[in-house]
Amino acid sequence: MSELYPLKFKTQFKDKIWGGNKIKTILGKDFSPLPNCGETWEISGVNGNISEVENGALKGTDLVLLIEKYKEKLVGKSVYEKFGNEFPLLIKFIDANDDLSIQVHPDDKLAKERHNSFGKTEMWYVFQADKNAKLNTGFAKKTSKEEYIKHLNSNTLDQILNFENVVVGDVYFLPAGRVHYIGKGICLAEIQQTSDVTYRIYDFDRKDDNGNLRELHTDLAVDAIDYGFYPEYKSKYKEAKNESVNLVTCNYFETNLIDANQIVSRNYKQIDSFVIYICVDGEATLEVENSNTNIKKGESVLLPAELKNIKIIPKPNAKLLEAWVPKS
């Protein structure tokens, strides 16, 4: 029998200038003594923000030490060969009580050159949205670097950005290089590469508690941006009960949705990776070998790679995002 089991980690709460209180009121997570919470980091291998196990025999062990000890048993052979002791994904919940900054993330090549970091490709799953809430992803038309700079300098970027009306269940894939921002009134789960590199382009002239404008990275952003136009920015998927429905597949992660009202059995023999479950609604029990782990809305669980069979038992309903790293 394996020493490993489904792992839960201590939530890390992040006070943000645009954060609100839905992390507490909707997800039931107490972020006191912070005045607000814009992000929670649920599973993180980012230096200075390494996640720590909060359940079972490995409680108190940080994620890097776990990988060092268990290697491919925890993350999978191909993942360990590629990433070593670095955990490749970062899992967050985000509460946008105000518009986030207009921003972009560099790709792997640029991030390596400039920051010795991975790039930042990410995806969003919207689990709450106020009426008329909007977000930005990409441009509304094909744009040149020169046209972009003209609009940036004249504070008219909104004239060339693509905006989307948002409802619960919407999914957006954001490859590195895509300009974006999350609009006021949206809560979402984010799955991304392990990276904390963000180029802030415009911040609506907001000032922090000390009266200072936040730093912008407009020069760095210019060469990171994809100026192309794409006719479909929102990911399409079929809704179905009690099966794993694909949402996003890319080089860095594959993410599915399991919307369950009866027991769902999953077998992961065909993949060579850990699996992460992110509960975006309801509650379930994860039954693995002889252990049961509860997961409820606002929680995430890491299933070690050597555990290949699991039963998801909803109580009575649950919506889980299911994510892993595909073989390269």
Give the lowest-confidence range in 1-10, 65-74, 146-155: 1-10
CA distance 113 to 174: 21
Annotated catalytic residues are 200
Give residue-wise pLDDT tens across range 35-58.
999 999 999 999 999 999 999 999
* pLDDT range class, residue 64, cuts 50, 70, 90: very high
Q: Which of 38-42, 78-82, 189-193, 211-215 has the lowest mean pLDDT?
A: 211-215
The model's pTM is: 0.96
Which of 28-37, 86-95, 202-211, 253-262 is the least confident region?
202-211
CA pair distance 178, 88, nearest whole angstrom: 20
Per-chain mean pLDDT for the chain: 96
Q: Which whole number is the average pLDDT over 175-193?
A: 98
Domains in the chain, ordered, with CATH? 12-222 (2.60.120.10), 244-324 (2.60.120.10)
